[in-house]
Amino acid sequence: MKVALLGGTRGIGRAVARRLAEEGDRLFLLGRDDDELARSARDLEQRAVAAGHTLEVGHARCDLAEPGGFGAALDAADEALDGFDALVITAARFATQQALEADPEEALRVSTVNYANTVALCEHARPRLLERRGVLCVLTSVAGDRGRKPVVIYGASKAGLSAYLEGLDHRHRLEGLGVVDVRPGFVRTSMTDGLRPPPFAGEPGPVARDVVRALRRRTPVVYTPWIWRWVMLAIRLLPRFVMRRIGF
């Protein structure tokens, strides 16, 4: 595959990028920090060589908070890869519910970046991927499966994104566009530093394996670690009066 990847310099995105490089896929990194992008690109090239592949990884600045730059960033990926056929978005903005309730401006930023601006980036890429019968893969979250006390605002932003991806899949699957909604549970990354891990917390490496498998198979919805599919099924079935009583 020829993959443009937003968020590949840290956490799950970095693990996904490393796995793709080691498996011989071509990559172009998108992100906010030029120095981090350059370091990550060199790391991926070295990992590809160690795995027996030759890889040149380009990069361009793309910030989900600045939608005016989306078109130019995708143009740069197109030029470097001679037309990317997969876009993977692992980047997002996170803050705890308590922090968001205390800061309405940050609540707006989280909602805008995670939903409206991510959808805008997908819409910039959609015509290109449709033409190439490509794949759009976006990390949402199990937080979007049900309204819950600890993640009211963050969860709502991810729920909206999942609804968009499902609609896109219904609308364009028969035209050849693959749409993949990856819903991680709690994963130990820099984004979750300082938070108490719940049972079944995941690590970036195994989660990246699931992401890449879903990308290749064009699986519409994937939970990772896998047990979260059953955890969230149980949560979705709980009556509302029970959800009001529990803290999950």
User: How many Cβ atoms from other residues are within 10 Å of residue 173's Cβ?
Assistant: 13
Alpha-carbon distances, residue 23 vs 63, 81, 127, 139, 216 (angstroms): 27, 17, 27, 21, 12
CA 116/CA 209 separation, integer angstroms: 28
The beta strand positions in the chain, using DSSP E, are: 2-6, 26-31, 58-61, 86-89, 135-139, 178-184, 221-224
Q: Which residue matches tokens 């370091």?
A: 39
Which token pair is 72? 């130019």
Q: Catalogue the active-site residues.
A: 154
Among 168, 172, 171, 141, CA closest to 156: 141
Which token pair is 143? 């937080």
- Amino acid residing at 102: A
Enumerate residues 6+ apart whose C-beta is below 8 A from 90: 5, 6, 7, 8, 11, 12, 13, 16, 139, 211
